[in-house]
Amino acid sequence: MYLSNEQERMLSGEEGEAVRKAMELIVALGKIYEAERLIPVSSVQVSGVSYKTIGDAGLEFIEDYAEMMKKEGKKVRVKTTMNPAGMDIEKWQVMGVDREFAEKQMRIYKAYVSMGIEPSLTCTPYYFVNVPKFGEHLAWAESSAVSYANSVIGARTNREGGPSALASAITGLTAEYGLHLEENRKADVVVEVDFNPDSYLYAALGNHLGSLLSKMGKKVPYFRGIKPSEDDMKALGAAMAATGSIALYHVEGTTPEWKNAIDDDLEVIKVDELEIREHIKGMDRDCEPELIAIGCPHASERELRRIAEMVKGRRKREDKELWVSVSRAVAERNKDAVRVIEDFGGLVLRDTCMVVSPIEKRFRSTGVNSGKAAYYLPKESFCRQCVRFRPLEDLVRMVIA
């Protein structure tokens, strides 16, 4: 693999140990994937922020790295934003998070901030805080954001792991392979949808197709027959990325690269509504949710305002909680909607979500409209929830007295 003189210097340790270690990882990945060279990235999204998901080993690794960078006077080289943490860093007590968890979570957060990473704590950085442009190369690690950046925006990123994204933040580089290369962005299967899904069905469609396509060895689906909104694409892509390894999809007539995405004679699979309704039966369990949790990925302005509209002037049921997860940027820009939901008795959470916070310590059953959350929350997973999977409107109605 070709390395420039400057990259060779970085790899040899001339710029310090923090940069050397980061370069070593990027070069190793480049060799594994047979990249010809390294390329600059314009932004990074790091994952591995929640104490619930990374534990003490992750905390120690991040603190050690932050300490090394501090000693060497190094910061991240490109715009770098952070995935959600295990709690709202201001409202963690209201969420019922215990002090030990909160202290460890804050150590992770502070270590990242000391590296120069922006304290965004959201999986939807593309709304306001880290907005990529078409064709830009990125190193993002949040699977739902990777799908959105590639598919809806037309930026280019592989699905990075936590350490490789951090290494890209420190070096400003990534190896040029996978979805950075034009030829790997072509569709390898056509999915014909013969019904008109609403946003809830898009989440279910994604949950179903992610695992189905991965089993078929397909990586880049091309959808025909649908006209999704941006929220629908967010739900579809997040679910496909969670249940499978889909990091890019195209939608005929909608996404920015669809025109050059298919060649002739691609395999075609057809999906009808009955198949999706059948699939939903396995996602929607028969239980009364104690918690209604919306915002996976973090809610858009439109979703937040829709919830506010529904609960305005109403009273919340005492026996159920409502959590709406959003980015700080979306909450800031929609203070009126946040106030309405909080007056109702709901909790508008910044910085976190129902999956990466320790909800299992307080709740046994949760209602969601997210195909990704429905995959990560169930009893057999680390969230141990009985999951109701319902449309947003049904969920909000469940919590109104």
Binding site for ligand F3S (CB under 6 A): 83-84, 123, 144, 238, 296-298, 325, 353, 355-356, 372-373
Q: Give the shortest CB-40-to-ligand F3S separation in angstroms.
A: 27
Q: Are strands 189-193 and 291-294 parallel, antiparallel or unpaired?
A: unpaired
Report in angstroms the alpha-carbon separations of 205 from 11, 283, 301. 44, 12, 23
Q: DSSP string covering 85-102, please?
A: -SS-TTTHHHHT--HHHH
Nearer to ligand F3S, 82 or 261 (CB): 82
The two structure tokens encoding residue 388: 């109701």
Nearer to ligand F3S, 188 or 321 (CB): 321
Q: Give the shortest CB-183-to-ligand F3S separation in angstroms.
A: 29
DSSP 187: -
Nearer to ligand F3S, 323 or 344 (CB): 323
Residue 263: CB atoms within 10 A of its CB come to 9
Q: DSSP string covering 121-179, please?
A: --S-TTTTTS---TT-BEEE--HHHHHIIIIII--B--B--HHHHHHHHHHSEEE--GG
Q: Give the shortest CB-349-to-ligand F3S separation in angstroms.
A: 10
Radius of gyration of the chain (CA): 21
Nearer to ligand F3S, 172 or 210 (CB): 210
Find, among 26, 276, 49, 272, the residue nearest to 142 by Cα: 49
Nearer to ligand F3S, 69 or 123 (CB): 123
Q: Give the shortest CB-142-to-ligand F3S separation in angstroms.
A: 6
Q: Give the shortest CB-47-to-ligand F3S separation in angstroms.
A: 8
Nearer to ligand F3S, 35 or 138 (CB): 138
Nearer to ligand F3S, 307 or 356 (CB): 356
Q: Give the shortest CB-295-to-ligand F3S separation in angstroms.
A: 6
Cα(275)–Cα(197) distance, integer angstroms: 12
Residue 376: CB atoms within 10 A of its CB come to 20
Q: Give the shortest CB-354-to-ligand F3S separation in angstroms.
A: 7
CA atoms within 13 A on the CB side of 92: 22
Nearer to ligand F3S, 126 or 258 (CB): 126
Residue 60: CB atoms within 10 A of its CB come to 12
Q: Give the shortest CB-399-to-ligand F3S separation in angstroms.
A: 19
Respond yes or no on whether the N-terminal peptide bond of residue 119 is cis (omega within 30° of 0).
no
